[in-house]
Chain A
Amino acid sequence: MNTVVCIKQVPETTEVRVDPKTNALIREGVKSIVNPVDENAVEAALQLRDQHGGKVTVITMGPPQAEEALRHTLAMGADEAILLSDPASRGSDTLATSYALAQMVRKLGAVDLILCGKQAIDGDTGQVGPGLAERLGIPQVTFAIGLEVADGKLRARRVLDDFFEVLEVKMPAVVTVVKQINEPRHPSMRNVLKAKRAEIAKWTLADLEADPKQSGFNGSPTEVIKVWPPEKRGGGRRLEGAADEVVDELAKAIKDMNIAAG
């Protein structure tokens, strides 16, 4: 079974800082990591390989330093890693990214399964996985919390707001996973050393015969007009004292807020 895992290198912080002029993320001085839930996708792929054999190939599109993120997945135990790095893919939104990744998957040929994390902690769109499935014209399952493969079919358990859904799909398929699907393994020391020496294939858009109109800025209709940090929530109000008094006070406060009606 050949699985491709799509990962993204992201800044290691939940407090993303944004350059107010360019609306781009400020990456200086921030350590880069593999998007956390993408590690779950890698782990899911490794577990399937352990059960069914085959190969795990990890791919990413990003700047040259994204190679480090790929090495981390090799240290986890992935067999191969490919970096698509091309100045012309700068400015890619989720449409252009899913196009580029689809081209990568096509070039890889026989693939049974494509795994992605649910969404990245920087952009938080959750669009690339589904976009990729659309581009490739294959089934997609989002928010998977469980995966099983049997008889060439994939059975996935999706976690939704208030219920689970079990889907069976034909392969190849794209599956995006949630954090709760597994516990990503720590790299073994042998794999850490192996990953350091591993060759990472580097592809450009030309290698993919990618359409320049669908790549980078040209292929990205999304325009980020403004990005700003959310306003800090107020601290709330704590009522203290005897129960009777507190209840009266609470009732009054609710009345004043005009939310009790209806």
Chain B
Amino acid sequence: MDFTFNEDQTAILAAVKEFCDEELAPKAKETDEAEAWPAENVRKMAELDLMGVPVPEEYGGLGMDFLTWSAIGEELSRACSTTGAVYGAHALAVVPIMQFGTDEQKRKHLVPLAKGEHIGAFGLTEPGAGSDAGAVSTKAVRDGDDYVLNGTKIFISNGGEAQTYVIITSTDPSRGARGLTAFIVEKGTPGFQFGRNEKKMAFPSLPNRELIFTDCRVPKANMLGRENGGFLVAMRTLAVGRIGMATGAVGIARAALEAAVPYTHQREQFGKPISTFQAIQFMVADMATEVDCARLLTWRAAWLKDQNKPFEKEAAMAKLFASEVAMRTTTKAVQIFGGYGYTREFPVERYMREAKLFEIVEGTSEIQRMVIANHVLRELNR
């Protein structure tokens, strides 16, 4: 395992950091409080070739690996978590089309996604299906060369703003998870509408919308993977998505640590900077250690993916650990800031609210533990 970045990666990460420090970070509070789609940030990410980092160059991407994709995502989330979340959610459409799309589907749908001309979103969750992906009830019924979709997806990140949606439907309800099929659905398709945008604890500028399908006709040409092979599409997508979520969590945890440390030097109590108190030092030490652990787990999962090795367990570990680290680290950061940390003057209370998302989204911590336990109980039962 080698996480040494080569010259290309180093140059790219330096350029991304500069963009993040100069463009995203100074406006992060504004971006959050606008409660509006961060269109300008997304446009800039597209201009900078950041919307197709892992996509092969022949499909308009940068042709880099998922490790680089993750390292870039951490930088974005560290500077502006909303923008980082858009980047992560976009990948949930990019990844399945990259992995399961035909050449024709890639030319039509992946190229504009990779260039950032289109934004992507992934629709699996329903009121009755989240952790239990097999319980999807959005139906797709074959009718000639089309499939007719009926049903509702909820909480869909980038929903409403995205042009390209990968939707998991049920084509054979009798077979449960083995009766699911993935489709690419474009915004503007008749019968495809957007419902309510959830009001959340944090991330008000990231849309999480309902997608409503009413007799929505989708051509068979938009089927992604095999018919009834949608569970595999969903699981493969979510596995990469978990690396993305771990990445976002590391970014926010790092932002909290990087906000807290300078404050410990500035803030004086009992005539001394609080950085001289062991209670504070131990908190800082734990935060820094955990952020590093979370990043290493995340990079390991990305690296395994890049080596075409199994990475599902490692992605679940990274997602589980990084999201819980984000929660602990941001909570400690608020504690270090004390009363000021509880105010909206400082970003740490926002980080703390944002961190909670990561313990829930794309498989709760409990689901991650189930996934990990399934692997471990099998692997070690020899």
Any B CB within 8 A of the CB of A108: no
Tell me if A196 and B8 are in contact (CB < 8 A).
Answer: yes
Tell me if A196 and B62 are in contact (CB < 8 A).
Answer: no
Tell me if A196 and B11 are in contact (CB < 8 A).
Answer: yes
Tell me if A193 and B11 are in contact (CB < 8 A).
Answer: yes
Q: Which residues of A contact B7 (CB under 8 A)?
A: 196
- Alpha-carbon separation in the docked complex, A103 to B18 (Å): 35
Q: Which residues of A contact B19 (CB under 8 A)?
A: 186
Within 8 A of A (CB), among B52-75: 53, 62
Q: Which residues of A contact B18 (CB under 8 A)?
A: 186
Any A CB within 8 A of the CB of B376: no
- Alpha-carbon separation in the docked complex, A77 to B170 (Å): 48
Return the contact of A189 from the options B22, B23, B48 (Cβ within 8 A).
B48
Nearest-Cβ distance from residue B189 to partner chain A, whole angstroms: 32
Q: Given A186-B18, A186-B44, A186-B48, are A192 and B12 also a contact pair (CB < 8 Å)?
A: yes
Q: What string of 1s and 0s marks CB contacts (under 8 Å) between B343-372 and chain A?
A: 000000000000000000000000000000
Q: Which residues of B contact A193 (CB under 8 A)?
A: 8, 11-12, 62
Q: Which residues of B contact A139 (CB under 8 A)?
A: none
Any B CB within 8 A of the CB of A66: no
Q: Which residues of A contact B44 (CB under 8 A)?
A: 186
Q: Is the interface of B mostly helix, strand, loop or mixed?
A: helix
Q: Which chain A residues have a beta carbon within 8 Å of chain B's beta carbons?
A: 75, 185-190, 192-193, 196
Nearest-Cβ distance from residue A101 to partner chain B, whole angstroms: 28
- Alpha-carbon separation in the docked complex, A187 to B62 (Å): 14
- Alpha-carbon separation in the docked complex, A192 to B62 (Å): 11
Q: Which chain B residues have a beta carbon within 8 Å of chain A's beta carbons?
A: 7-8, 11-12, 15-16, 18-19, 22-23, 44, 47-50, 53, 62
Return the contact of B49 from the options A185, A188, A196 (Cβ within 8 A).
A188
Q: Is the interface of A mostly helix, strand, loop or mixed?
A: helix
Considering the complex, give the chain A residue whose CB is closest to the CB of B23: A186
Question: How many residue pairs at the A-B interface have CB separations less than 8 Å?
Answer: 34
Nearest-Cβ distance from residue A79 to partner chain B, whole angstroms: 18
Nearest-Cβ distance from residue B116 to partner chain A, whole angstroms: 11
Considering the complex, give the chain B residue whose CB is closest to the CB of A185: B47
Nearest-Cβ distance from residue A78 to partner chain B, whole angstroms: 15
Q: Given A186-B22, A186-B23, A193-B8, are A75 and B49 also a contact pair (CB < 8 Å)?
A: no
Most buried by A among B7, B19, B48: B48
Q: Which residues of B contact A185 (CB under 8 A)?
A: 47
Considering the complex, give the chain A residue whose CB is closest to the CB of B62: A189
Tell me if A188 and B47 are in contact (CB < 8 A).
Answer: yes
Tell me if A75 and B15 are in contact (CB < 8 A).
Answer: yes
Most buried by A among B15, B22, B23: B15
Return the contact of A190 from the options B16, B22, B23, B49 (Cβ within 8 A).
B49
Nearest-Cβ distance from residue A183 to partner chain B, whole angstroms: 10
Q: List 28 A-B contacts (CB under 8 A).
A: A75-B15, A186-B15, A186-B18, A186-B19, A186-B22, A186-B23, A186-B44, A186-B48, A187-B15, A187-B48, A188-B47, A188-B48, A188-B49, A189-B12, A189-B15, A189-B16, A189-B49, A189-B53, A190-B49, A192-B11, A192-B15, A193-B8, A193-B11, A193-B12, A193-B62, A196-B7, A196-B8, A196-B11
- Alpha-carbon separation in the docked complex, A187 to B16 (Å): 9
Q: Which residues of A contact B53 (CB under 8 A)?
A: 189
- Alpha-carbon separation in the docked complex, A193 to B62 (Å): 10
Q: Which residues of A contact B8 (CB under 8 A)?
A: 193, 196
